Amino acid sequence: MLRERLGKDLLIFDGAMGTQLQEAGLKAGEIPEVYNIEHPEIIIDIHSRYLQSGANFITTNTFGCNPLKMADSGYCYCDLLKAAVKNARIARDKVNPNAYIALDIGPIGQLLEPLGTLTFDEAYEMIASQILIVKDQVDVVLLETMTDLYEVKAAILAVKENSDLPVFVTMTFEQNKRTLTGTDPLTFVNVVEGLGVDALGVNCSLGPNELKPIIDEILEVSSIPVMIQPNAGLPCLHNGQTCYEVTSDEYALAMIDYMQRGVSIVGGCCGTTPDFIAELKKRAPQNVTSRDVKRLTRVSSQNQTVTFEGQVVVCGERLNPTGKKKLKAALKEERYDECVVEGIKQQQAGADVLDVNVGLPGIDEPATMVKVMKLLQEVINLPLQIDSSSPEAIEKACRYYNGKPLINSVNGKDEVMEAIFPIVKKYGGVVIGLTLEDGIPLYAHERLAIAKKIIDKASEYGIAKEDIIIDCLTLTASAQQKEVQETLKALTLVKEELGVHTVLGVSNVSFGLPNRPLLNRTFLALAMQSGLDLPIINPLDQELMGTIDAYNVLYHFDKDSSRYISKQSQVTTLAPLTTSSFTLEDMIIHGLKDEVQAKTKELLQEREAMDVINNVIIPALNRVGKDYETNKIFLPQLIQSAETTKKAFEVVKSTFRVDSQSKGPIMMCTVEGDIHDIGKNIVKVVLESYGYQVIDLGKDVKVEKVVEAYHKYQPKMIGLSALMTTTVVNMKKTIEALHKVNCQCPIWVGGAVLTQEIADEIGADYYSEDAMASVTLLNHIFDERGE
């Protein structure tokens, strides 16, 4: 069994398929998967040579074999998929019957909502259809070169719900240690390990040396087998061909260190060949170096992870309608924008996690929970706590949550645990256990016994105690004054005897008494001293938050008091904030696209249109851009801000007598032979948010079509995009063709395989590495022209 070997035997994957196909005659723009039917002998030969080199796995030639990418191939993706697996099986039977066949599944090619239009369910169905066709003919599913954690989750569920195949997942990271959509290595590991994959790691994008910081972080936090498949170094261009300069010997030497530190599955990506795999085989140890990884309690959003270790984690309580008339009304009237505003306020006030509870009579709780959760995740980086007494609502929210959720809650009743624990296990969440059964026990030792029961029962479902947080339950001092101390005692007992983290709803203690804030912050201080890790509080109460800051200083959690000094030296009173009190600048920064048009119209009654553009919209965008460049926000928030700005611009432009205020036109396309347009689409959206008129020619655009469009539109800038190494040559041909017709406008290029050196080699005027770099470049060029 493959699973029995994982983490014990050093296993070797094959190398690049594309490199070998190019050597065999694959031309730029041709679809590799078509070779499964039209040239099966070439595919079989490539698989055979990798097996002869010592590979334990061969990867099917199906990286893009999904309905979307194969729509223009001339073949049904089902037939291409079957042919690919057949070719792999022929090669295996001929060379090494003990080798494993990995079904290769790459990115679908479209961004999932809210970044794109593809839904989670559509992505799931697409991948599930691939699994169902060949699941009995392969040994493992490899989800590789993934950039979107949400797509990864859909794919993992599609595999696990439609087969019992092992799942390996590798994401591709950029040099800033983030994926395209902003996921860092820690978050990636935390989420996919929770979802129950069999191995995880990194592939593509960079060479083995450049990937070191990313691999180091993955090795530090992953408690399951780690796999790596780097490129053969960084790409360069020689004689019109994309090349990789790292030799097989250099590659193997660089990989030895990783294998000695516990990487248990190795292989190659772009630029690697059977020679690379042969060198890996020759130098690889037989057994895996053991790793001692301490598992910690962690919850995640798509691009931010909160670790419960050496700090008090604040959960914002203000998205729970209990006792909140305005929030109840907003939920019943489906004014979800008020929930988003409340979430933003809590994030700004310093919350680490946000509680989300929509349990009200008369509403569809599962649907409402998912709706509110998705809207929050569009604009907020914080992990969310899914708070419900409905197993159906919890199940649905966990399925569509992008990250590793905190789930509130279970209690000591067997029927409740039996309903909730399977959900926690399946979706890899952290669950809160309430120390009650038919009622709240009065004494600490009784609550300890229920906590132990919850932990023991969870272990039967394969849920580790690191994924459990115990709520010792806050009683009201007005009604049960003596029992308040029992809660504090229970906190200490749970921490010391069970070794798990603890949570309390702090404000319950003061219910029915005057000057509630005084009681709340005093109880909070006592509870933290007794072992409280996760207070559920109002983060807009600055005195409560200040108590936590002071506690972290006095208990040496806040080293050098740096956080305390940063926050307490600039404390100001937080005024109540509503949607109407957001300025237009606030709305752009936070991506509140549903309210921005009304606010823009309101502002235009007081100020001139160009004043609004130059002194409100552009400064707001510049701040968003700076936050993106410094990793304060990530692609989801950048896109939301861009879409919000576009709506504001539409209102402003409607006041112009002549539509001549936009900059441009700018012409963009993905070059011939390349069907990937995610990066180009992102650049387009962001440029449009800055007021540029963008003419999008689409993807796989032939050279002559670009020249024809240049004559037709007379653009002031031309942007060319390429993701595949094989299509860089077409980018060069496009530039050459434009120069032949005396194209005078600057040409800038971008894409995953592009570098400044390659841009220079192919004759481009400029290179930009992402959307914000493109904005900076174009702003500079247009400013120099005085436009």
Please report, for the domain that includes residue 132, its CATH number.
3.20.20.330
**71, exposed or middle or buried, with CB in 10 Å at 0-12, 13-18, 19+?**
exposed
CA dist 197 → 67, 265, 745 (Å): 25, 14, 49
| Residue among 432, 358, 343 at smallest CA distance from 392 | 358
pLDDT in tens, 117-176: 899 999 999 999 999 999 999 999 999 999 999 999 999 999 999 999 999 999 999 888
Percent of the chain residues topping a pLDDT of 90: 71
Would you say residue 472 lies in a domain?
A: yes
pLDDT in tens, 501-529: 999 999 999 999 999 999 999 999 999 99
Phi, psi values for residue 54, rounded to 5°? 115, 5
Would you say residue 469 lies in a domain?
A: yes
270 labeled binding residue: yes
Q: What is the pLDDT of residue 654?
A: 81
**What pLDDT band is residue 323 in, cutting at 50, 70 and 90?**
confident
Q: 719 is written with which tokens?
A: 């942007």
Task: Mark whether 623 and 769 lie in a shared domain.
Answer: no
Beta-bridge mates of residue 470:
433, 502
**What pLDDT band is residue 578 in, cutting at 50, 70 and 90?**
low
Number of domains in the chain: 4
Task: Mark whether 377 and 472 lie in a shared domain.
Answer: yes
**What pLDDT band is residue 611 in, cutting at 50, 70 and 90?**
confident
Q: How far is CA 53 from the centre of its chain?
A: 35
Q: What is the pLDDT of residue 240?
A: 62
Would you say residue 780 lies in a domain?
A: yes
**What pLDDT band is residue 276 in, cutting at 50, 70 and 90?**
very high
Q: Pairing mode, if any, of strands 692-696 and 717-721?
A: unpaired
Would you say residue 143 lies in a domain?
A: yes
Question: Quick check: 24 and 46 in contact, CB under 8 A?
Answer: yes
224: left (phi over 0), alpha (psi -120 to 50) or beta: beta
Say which amino acid occupies 129: S
pLDDT mean over 31-37: 96
Say which amino acid occupies 733: K
Task: Mark whether 503 and 391 lie in a shared domain.
Answer: yes
Say which amino acid occupies 86: K
Q: What is the pLDDT of residue 48?
A: 98
**What pLDDT band is residue 572 in, cutting at 50, 70 and 90?**
low
What SS3 class is residue 579? helix
Tokens 């347009």, residue?
677
| Residue among 283, 354, 285 at smallest CA distance from 320 | 354
pLDDT mean over 397-422: 97
pLDDT mean over 372-397: 96
pLDDT: which is higher, 661 or 716: 716
Say which amino acid occupies 381: N
Say which amino acid occupies 38: E
How many other CB atoms are there within 10 angstroms of residue 52's CB atom? Answer: 15
Task: Mark whether 414 and 554 lie in a shared domain.
Answer: yes
Q: What is the pLDDT of residue 712?
A: 94
Helix 40-52 to helix 77-95 angle (10° resolution) is 40
> Using CA of residue 263, residue 464, residue 141, residue 125, what is the dihedral sign?
negative
How far apart CA 404 and CA 197 sit, in angstroms, is 14
How far apart CA 722 and CA 439 sit, in angstroms, is 62
Give me the domain span that covers residue 95: 14-223
Would you say residue 5 lies in a domain?
A: no
65 labeled binding residue: no
**594, exposed or middle or buried, with CB in 10 Å at 0-12, 13-18, 19+?**
middle
| Residue among 501, 497, 496 at smallest CA distance from 472 | 501
Residues 6 or more apart whose CB falls under 8 angstroms from that of 448 comprise 435, 490, 493, 494, 497, 498
Q: Pairing mode, if any, of strands 226-229 and 241-244?
A: unpaired
How far apart CA 187 and CA 209 sit, in angstroms, is 22
Lowest mean pLDDT segment, chosen from 457-471, 522-536, 749-763: 749-763
Task: Read off the DSSP letter of residue 364.
Answer: -
Q: Which domain CATH number covers 639?
A: 1.10.1240.10
- How does 339-348 read in b/e, with b if 16+ C-beta sit within 10 Å? bbbbbbbbbe
Q: What is the pLDDT of residue 658?
A: 44
Task: Mark whether 626 and 562 lie in a shared domain.
Answer: no
Phi, psi values for residue 238, rounded to 5°? -130, 125
pLDDT mean over 350-359: 97
Task: Read off the DSSP letter of residue 139.
Answer: S
**Averaging pLDDT over each range in 28-32, 363-367, 605-609, which range is the top one?**
363-367
Question: Quick check: 771 and 115 in contact, CB under 8 A?
Answer: no
* Total length of the chain: 787
Task: Mark whether 525 and 424 lie in a shared domain.
Answer: yes
| Residue among 646, 732, 656, 723 at smallest CA distance from 692 | 646
Beta-bridge mates of residue 471:
434, 503
CA dist 671 → 361, 381, 668, 697, 733 (Å): 54, 34, 9, 10, 10
**What pLDDT band is residue 571 in, cutting at 50, 70 and 90?**
low
Task: Mark whether 611 and 463 lie in a shared domain.
Answer: no
pLDDT in tens, 717-756: 999 998 776 678 889 999 999 999 999 899 999 987 788 9
pLDDT mean over 627-640: 86
Residue 208, CA atoms < 13 Å, CB-side half-sphere: 28
Q: How far is CA 414 from the centre of its chain?
A: 35
> Using CA of residue 355, residue 360, residue 363, residue 366, what is the dihedral sign?
positive
Residues 6 or more apart whose CB falls under 8 angstroms from that of 680 comprise 668, 669, 670, 696, 699, 719, 721
Task: Mark whether 522 and 552 lie in a shared domain.
Answer: yes
138: left (phi over 0), alpha (psi -120 to 50) or beta: beta
pLDDT at 252 over 50: yes
How far apart CA 507 and CA 519 sit, in angstroms, is 8
Task: Mark whether 366 and 505 lie in a shared domain.
Answer: yes
pLDDT mean over 443-459: 97
Q: Which domain CATH number covers 444?
A: 3.20.20.20
| Residue among 702, 693, 695, 694 at smallest CA distance from 675 | 702
Question: Quick check: 118 and 20 in contact, CB under 8 A?
Answer: no
**What pLDDT band is residue 465 in, cutting at 50, 70 and 90?**
very high
| Residue among 383, 393, 392 at smallest CA distance from 430 | 383
pLDDT in tens, 259-269: 999 999 999 99
| Residue among 302, 264, 301, 269 at smallest CA distance from 285 | 264
Task: Mark whether 540 and 620 lie in a shared domain.
Answer: no
Pinpoint the alpha helices (H) of 136-246: 149-162, 185-194, 212-221
Task: Mark whether 635 and 712 lie in a shared domain.
Answer: no
In DSSP notation, 236-292 reads EEETTEEEE---HHHHHHHHHHHHHTT--EE---TT--HHHHHHHHHH--SBPPP--
**348: part of which helix (H) or strand (E)?**
helix 337-349
**What pLDDT band is residue 404 in, cutting at 50, 70 and 90?**
very high
How far apart CA 274 and CA 277 sit, in angstroms, is 5
**269, exposed or middle or buried, with CB in 10 Å at 0-12, 13-18, 19+?**
buried
Task: Mark whether 628 and 667 lie in a shared domain.
Answer: no
How many other CB atoms are there within 10 angstroms of residue 284's CB atom? Answer: 17
How far apart CA 198 and CA 402 sit, in angstroms, is 20
| Residue among 146, 108, 181 at smallest CA distance from 640 | 181
**What pLDDT band is residue 231 in, cutting at 50, 70 and 90?**
very high
CA dist 179 → 69, 390, 634, 676, 752 (Å): 21, 34, 10, 16, 11
Q: What is the pLDDT of residue 659?
A: 45
Would you say residue 685 lies in a domain?
A: yes
Q: How many helices (H) and strands (E) does the chain have?
A: 31, 25
Would you say residue 236 lies in a domain?
A: no
How far apart CA 216 and CA 263 sit, in angstroms, is 10
Would you say residue 238 lies in a domain?
A: no
Pinpoint the alpha helices (H) of 494-561: 516-530, 542-554
Q: 125 is written with which tokens?
A: 């169905």
**What pLDDT band is residue 624 in, cutting at 50, 70 and 90?**
confident
Q: 636 is written with which tokens?
A: 């989801």
Strand segments (E) across 100-213: 100-105, 140-146, 167-171, 199-203
How far apart CA 476 and CA 484 sit, in angstroms, is 7
CA dist 536 → 161, 187, 410, 483 (Å): 35, 23, 17, 19
Q: What is the mean pLDDT of the chain?
A: 92
Task: Read off the DSSP letter of residue 26.
Answer: P
**What pLDDT band is residue 661 in, cutting at 50, 70 and 90?**
low
204 labeled binding residue: yes
Lowest mean pLDDT segment, chosen from 32-41, 123-132, 324-333, 672-681: 672-681
**What pLDDT band is residue 579 in, cutting at 50, 70 and 90?**
low
633: left (phi over 0), alpha (psi -120 to 50) or beta: beta
The model's pTM is: 0.89
How far apart CA 44 and CA 38 sit, in angstroms, is 12
